[in-house]
Amino acid sequence: MRELQIVSLAACLASGLLAQSSWNPKSAAAYLDSRAQWWSTWPNASRDHQTFCISCHTALPYAAARASLRTALGEKSPAPIEQKLVDNVIARVRMWDQVSPYYPNKNETDSKTAESRGTEAILNAFVLTRYNSGADADRALDQMWALQLTSGDAKGAFPWLQFHNAPWEGDSQYYGATLAALAAGGAPHSGLDALKEYLRKDFASRTLLDRVMLLWTSTRVQGLLSAGERDGIISEAISRQQADGGFSLSALVGNWKRKDNTPLETKSDGYATGMVSFVLEEAGVPGDDPRLQAGLTWLKKNQESTDGRWLAYSLNKQRDLATDVGKFMSDAATAYAVLALSHGR
């Protein structure tokens, strides 16, 4: 059955039925910029010292993807809101001992202060290393490594926020560890071996979404996966491709259930398709591979003409996609779609 699907996709490409359509980098940038600007001024995102928190759904994907649009748009420097986000992270890194945690403890048994510190340290390091921010990036990495866990089942990982919201604030400590490894890259550090050991431990039992993140991380951290292990993750990811060439996040998260008991959305979405396509590219899947081409074609055909975004759907409850909170998944989807479509350009 799998072979028939691959042949079908290849035949569609050859016959022009999946002919590549265009996408609009300018409207994608406008959507991402507007959402980053909104986030930076949203009262719920506001933190002390006139700063704002870096969210896994809006600000972090924005920082990962926005620079990849610069060539297509003829930009020679970061967009104003892009620079504002980086400056915000730098400010919090420089005031690390003065700023409050994103979410302080509410009582003696609460762990949100430690979770917040660990999460922010990773996000700060990811953003500033992405922007090659020199001494500030080094400082952020030092702050991250200082919080690495040295004992227990999660030895080698970092404290991570737990709000029972997938895919970033549920059982997501593993996701945070992959971001930490991406931030660290190949730079030598005494904590890197423990981080690699944590990421490798029982990785085959992780959700496919976690393993796709691990695959991406393996392109930055030498010796994390063997060639056979990388090929295995690639094959399993491709096996979840849908008949229209896209991917559905619901097929990557195991048995996760929504809080409101509504069924997960099973149709192809921009987050899963963008993420998987981008990571396949990063992992060296040839650009002319029909499965990869089908994913990229799905992205080109499914950018919203009204606002430039790609749609994605909450794993936690059914949301109105027209609301600001309902757009969170689409924020990340648009960033990863941009990364996939801009790859190598």
For residue 6, pLDDT beyond 70 = no
Residue 2 within a domain: no
Residue 17 within a domain: no
Asked if 232 and 218 touch (Cβ cutoff 8 Å), the reply is no
Residue 253: strand, helix, or coil: coil
Residue 3 within a domain: no
Which tokens sit at 42? 């949203």
pLDDT at 21: 59
**What's the number of domains the chain is made of?**
1
Q: 127-138: per-residue pLDDT in tens?
A: 999 999 999 999
Q: 111-160: per-residue pLDDT in tens?
A: 999 999 999 999 999 999 999 999 999 999 999 999 999 999 999 999 99
Residue 104 within a domain: yes
Residue 54 within a domain: yes
Residue 4 within a domain: no
pLDDT at 12: 45
pTM: 0.93
Q: Residue 277's domain spans which residues?
A: 22-342
Residue 215 within a domain: yes
Q: For residues 59-69, give the mean pLDDT.
A: 98
Asked if 206 and 258 touch (Cβ cutoff 8 Å), the reply is no
Q: How far is CA 241 from CA 101, 142, 207, 295, 331, in A?
A: 40, 39, 16, 8, 22
pLDDT band, residue 171 (cuts 50/70/90): confident
For residue 10, pLDDT beyond 80 = no
CA-CA distance, 84 to 306, in Å (whole number)? 26
Residue 164 within a domain: yes
For residue 13, pLDDT beyond 80 = no
For residue 9, pLDDT beyond 90 = no
Q: How far is CA 277 from CA 254, 261, 320, in A?
A: 19, 30, 26
Residue 88 sits in a domain of what CATH number?
1.50.10.20
Q: Is the dihedral of CA 85, 91, 94, 97 positive or negative?
A: negative
Asked if 233 and 219 touch (Cβ cutoff 8 Å), the reply is no
